[in-house]
Homo-oligomer: A and B are copies of this chain.
Amino acid sequence: MTRKIFSLLITLTFFTFLIFTEINLNAQQLPSEEIQKYSELASKIVRSALLDKKGYGWLKELCAIGPRLSGSDNSSKAITWAKNKMSECGFDSVWLQPVMVPKWVRGKIENAYISKSKKYLNKKLTIASYGGSIGTSKRGIYGEIIEVKGLEEVKNLGDKAKGKIVFYNRSFDNGLLNTFEGYGRAVDQRVNGAIEASKVGAVAVIVRSVQASFDNVPHTGVMNYQEGVKQIPSAAISVMDADFLSKAIKSEPNLNITIKMDCKSYPDVQSYNVIGQLTGTENPNEVIVVGGHFDSWDKGCGAHDDGAPCLQTMEALELLKRMNIKPKRTIRCVLFINEENGLRGGIEYGKYSSNTFEKHLAGIESDRGAFTPRGFSVTTDSLSLMKMQSWLPILNKANIDWIRKGGSGGDVGQIKNAKALLGYVPDDQRYMDLHHSDNDVYSAVHPREMELGSAAIAIISYLLSEEGL
Q: Which residues of A contact B (CB under 8 A)?
A: 46-48, 50-51, 174-177, 179, 212, 371-372, 374-375, 397-399, 401-402, 427, 429-430, 446, 448-449, 452
Contact = CB atoms under 8 A, between A and B. Distances in A.
B50 A398 contact: no
B401 A429 contact: no
Given A212-B448, A372-B429, 9 more contacts: A46-B175, A47-B176, A50-B174, A51-B174, A174-B448, A177-B452, A372-B427, A374-B401, A401-B401
A366 to B, nearest CB: 17
Given A51-B174, A174-B50, A174-B51, A429 B402 contact: no
Q: Which 6 A-B pairs have the closest CB atoms?
A: A47-B175, A401-B401, A429-B448, A51-B175, A372-B427, A372-B429
A463 to B, nearest CB: 18
A177 B399 contact: yes
A177 B402 CA distance: 17
Nearest to A175: B47
A352 B427 CA distance: 40
A449 B430 CA distance: 8
B448 A398 contact: no
B46 A177 contact: yes
Nearest to A52: B175
Given A372-B372, A372-B429, A427-B372, A177 B449 contact: no
A312 to B, nearest CB: 15
A446 B401 CA distance: 22
A70 B427 CA distance: 35
A63 B375 CA distance: 34
A47 B371 CA distance: 22
A82 B430 CA distance: 28
24 contacts: A46-B177, A47-B175, A47-B176, A50-B174, A50-B175, A50-B177, A174-B448, A177-B397, A177-B399, A177-B452, A179-B448, A371-B372, A372-B372, A372-B427, A372-B429, A375-B401, A399-B429, A401-B402, A429-B446, A429-B449, A429-B452, A430-B446, A430-B448, A430-B449
